[in-house]
Chain A
Amino acid sequence: MFKLIVEKELREIIGSMKFAVTFGISSLLLVLTFYVGARNYQVSAEQNETARRENLRKLEGLTDWGEVQNFRVYLPPQPVSSLVMGISNDIGRTSDIRGAGEINARDSKYGEDPVYAVFRFLDLDFIFQIVLSLFAILFAYDAVNGEKERGTLRLTLANAVPRSTYIAGKIAGSFLALAVPLLVPILLGALLLLAMGIPMAGSDWTRFALIVAAGYLYFGVFLSLSLFVSSATEKSSTSFLVLLVVWIFSVMIIPRTAVLLAGRAVDVPTVDQLVSQKSRYSASLWQEQRKTMADWRAPSDTPMDKVFPEFEKFMAGIDAERTEKMNAYGQRLNEERSNAQAVQERFAFGLARVSPSAVFSLLTTSVAATGVHLKDEYKLQALQYQKQYAEFFKGKTGRNPSGSFMFRMTTDDDQKEKKKINTAEMPAFAFVQPPIAAALGPVIMDFGILALFNIVFFAGAFVAFLRFDAR
């Protein structure tokens, strides 16, 4: 009997016009999303490459590594990030590498092109979270009470079929009827990625599979919720209204409100305060060193040609001292801010997880590595690169690249042809996406929460249906 009910449900859904329309639209949207994501990836990869090449090109022809200035690194686009964008368009991508000190990335996609910020992009997160959940509701809001209204429920229940079998068959049937067809555009999309030559590594496919799995779980949440509401209400118009309100709250209201509440509840020092404190500290350090500098004399027995190197050594010494103090101070301030931010974030996301849509969003962004931690990750890797760069620089020139004092003496009679530097020797910056394992805890938790939502709503539907008045 279970099989029969599943089959009936399948046939009913797939044969309906509702199905034809919504399936057509969601397939179109899904394929479009994949196409747009892939194109965006290609374009940004190309732009990223041009910027990187030009940045290197300007070093060509230099004869002294000491002349290298304005070296920059860029956050490269990632294949999966273009499918689930998260905050990747909100953070800066270009970082100046000076050799020491802090790194502040600039030129965020939305900041640079506010035109995209207005309507934002289409990505899988958006399509699943908003469009497919709405369609799940559309299919199941009258699954039980609609049958009652049409009178078919009584007929079915007149057979020797336990109610539990019936409701289980219904949920299985509707899930199959919607989930299996959706695989078609998703697979088409995956093929499109291959056809367009998007370099998806093995781990990228794992991420992709996890995102799709999360999408299905999320879809299941709204499907079972709809069945629940449908069997807890008498009229299908009521159940639709209830579901719509729940949907609006889940998708749009709860996440945003949670974040705003957390923003009010947890005080985080503003970036402006930090910038200002640092700059004032730097000025005060300068004042301290003013005297030391004015008092400097070369040791009396220094021969003239050694005076300048002596001086350079001295300046490098105070420079290093200042940099060290500055770093320690900056680090302390940054840490304070990031600790406060972490508390705020836990609070915000903890609250937001009441909504399955927020859970889904957090889950997919952590799988795609485009969550709120992307910025720190990029900063960290850029800092590591900066160290590498500083070492390389020191190896070439014998001094730190960070010094704000640089003396270069060239004389006209130095006529011999100088050797040009080989830019290929420079260490290259390659951003490595943190492995999924790095975010395993939250990923598992979010999968768990989505599964829990499914179970709770399904149990609710089950219990409500057992007591449903079929007349």
Chain B
Amino acid sequence: MFTTIVLKELKSILVSPKFPVTFAVASVLVLLSVFMGIREYRASLDQYQAANALVKQEMREARGWMSLSNRVYREPDPMQIFVSGVHNDVGRLSGISTWEPVKLSASAYSDDLIYALFRFIDFTFIVQVVLTLFAILFTYDSINGERESGTLQLMLSNPVPRARVITAKFVGAWLGLVVPIMIPVLLGLSLLLVYKVPMTAEHWVRLGFLAGASLLLFTFFIAFGMLVSSVTRRSNISFLICLVSWVALVLIVPRAGMMMAGQIVKVPTDAEIDSQQDSFSKDRWNAHFEALSEKWSTRMEPLEGLPDAERTAKREEMEWAWAEEDKNDRDSMHAVIDGNARKLREDLRNRKGERERLAFTLSRFSPVSAFQLAAMNLAGTDIGLKTRYEDALEAYRASFNQYKTQKQKESGSSGGISIQVDSEKGVKIDVGREMALDLDGMPEFTTTRPSLSESVSATGVDFGLMALFSIISFAGAFAMFLRYDPRYAN
């Protein structure tokens, strides 16, 4: 009997008039999203390689070692085809220099605003919006619809336990929807091979997990549709409830959670932090200069009243020690200023982290958010992308600057301009000699990606939540169905 019901359910989905339409739409969209994702990925890869070549050339033609700076671009990753995440929102590049801290700037969206207005479609988006809608469309009347058409009463008049009926219905609906959807998904994956996207084994594993997450979300919506169908008597009411819940779960809860967190945890903007730091450093400098002039007057005091020759001699004797002392003062002030900058940045990061945790907690009330977060973690296009890159870039900056200083020393030229002022000869400028920089041995930036196990473990909560939501929905449908009144008459 179990198989009979499964088969019946399968058949009713596959031969229903809405099936060909929805299946066609879903297939077109899945394929389209993968196809466009591949095109975009290849375009950004070309752009990345071209940009790197340009930077190299630029550096070779630079004025000299002292003013040498580098630019590091974020490397595109094939996973962004499926989950663009924050990839287009976070800056694509950062300058690497002695005089500026690293900062990712120029996001893809801010450079090409036409994309920013409508955004991209990716596979995750299709799953979240289109496939979930279709899951609901096929299950909203799975129980009350049968009651309305009278078939439920007929079915239950057979000697078959209700528990088995509901389970079979669920299995049937699941197979009827999941198996057809797998076709365009597999075709989409084969596009990766056709276009020779450089996928490693790890990428395929990540994709496997992504497919698992998508299935879980899809399963949730199938179970949810059945749940609503089993708590209501009439299919038009369950339809309304389903659609409204869909709007809430897909469109509202994720955003509302994020915005609520933004209201609760106040986070200053980068502009605020920057100007705070500027003011702080200005205050330090002022204090430093004041202390310096005071110091000089105390240094000069004992020399007052000495004959000129003795004074000059004393002064020359002390000069070295004083210069050393001043330099130490300056260094310690720099350390204080840097320390403050670090502290401000760290505070900012902690605040952001706090807000992020709250935002995720709130938005995870919707399994759709859980799916989105899991997908981004799997693809490495999650919120942490920015800090991860900036940390790695900061480390790279240190080694780059070290290399630069060493090269500068070796070349024996500052690369700057030296200006000599002489009372006889006037002013003479030395701009150094012309040279092409030999960038041998320059450290290269290596892209940082979280390892597979890190990514997967970060998605644990979300997989768990989606599973939990699915189980609760199915259990609810199960419980409600056991007590469902199958009679046709109201």
Contact = CB atoms under 8 A, between A and B. Distances in A.
Nearest to A287: B434
Interface string B225-263: 000000000000100110110011001101111110011
Interface in A387-412: 412
A93 B255 CA distance: 23
Given A54-B275, A131-B247, A272-B51, A361 B269 contact: no
B58 A115 contact: no
Interface string B38-80: 0110000001001100110110011100000001010000000
B427 A298 contact: yes
A336 B274 CA distance: 33
Contacts of A113: 267, 352
B58 A293 contact: no
Contacts of A412: 296
Contacts, number: 268
B350 to A, nearest CB: 14
Contacts of A138: 240, 243
A423 interface: no
Contact-residue size bin, chain A (C-beta under 8 Å from the other chain): 35 or more
Contact of A51 (B271, B355, B426): B271
B376 interface: yes
B66 to A, nearest CB: 13
Main secondary structure on A side of the interface with B: helix
Given A54-B276, A116-B258, A260 B40 contact: yes
Contacts of B109: 87, 90, 108, 110
Interface string A120-153: 1110001000110010001000000000000000
Contacts of A257: 32, 36, 121
Nearest to B423: A304
Interface stretch (A16-24, A191-199, A203-211): A16-24
Nearest to B269: A47
Interface string A1-40: 0000000000000000110011001000100100010010
Nearest to A18: B240
B29 interface: yes
A471 interface: no
Contact of A276 (B55, B237, B431): B55
A293 B431 contact: yes
B275 A55 contact: yes
Interface of B: 17-18, 21-22, 25, 29, 32, 36, 39-40, 47, 50-51, 54-55, 57-58, 61-63, 71, 73, 85-86, 89-91, 93, 103-107, 109-121, 125, 129-130, 133, 137, 237, 240-241, 243-244, 247-248, 251-252, 254-259, 262-263, 266-272, 274-276, 278-279, 282, 286, 296, 352, 355-356, 359, 363, 369, 372-373, 376, 383, 385-386, 417, 419, 421, 423, 426-431, 434
Interface of A: 17-18, 21-22, 25, 29, 32, 36, 39, 43-44, 47-48, 50-51, 54-55, 57-58, 61, 70, 72, 74, 86-87, 90-94, 106-108, 110-122, 126, 130-131, 134, 138, 237-238, 241-242, 244-245, 248, 252-253, 255-260, 262-264, 268, 270-273, 275-276, 279-280, 283-284, 286-287, 290, 293-294, 296-298, 302, 304, 307-308, 310-311, 341, 344-345, 348-349, 352, 358, 361-362, 365, 371-372, 375, 412
Question: Shortest 3 CB-CB distances between A and B: which pairs?
Answer: A54-B275, A117-B89, A276-B54
